[in-house]
Amino acid sequence: MSRLRIAKPGPVKGRRWTPVTVANAAVALALECGMLVALFCWGLATGTNTVWGIVIGAASAALAAVVWGTFLAAGGPKVPLPVGAEITVKLAVFGVAALALADFGRTTLTLVLAGLAVISVAVEYTAVGPPPETRDDALAGTPDLNS
The reply to whether the predicted model has a pTM over 0.85 is no
Q: Is the peptide bond before 9 cis (omega within 30 degrees of 0)?
A: yes
Task: Find the radius of gyration of the CA atoms of the chain.
Answer: 20
Question: What is the model's pLDDT at position 133?
Answer: 55
SS3 22: helix
Task: Tell me the pLDDT tens digit for each residue of 52-104.
Answer: 999 999 999 999 999 999 999 877 778 888 888 999 999 999 999 999 999 98
Contact (Cβ atoms closer than 8 angstroms) between residue 69 and residue 132:
no
Distance CA 44, CA 84 (A): 33
Q: Which residues contact 76 (CB under 8 A, 6 or more apart)?
A: 7, 8
Question: What is the model's pLDDT at position 12?
Answer: 57
* Least reliable range by pLDDT among 8-22, 96-110, 133-147: 133-147
Question: What is the model's pLDDT at position 77?
Answer: 79
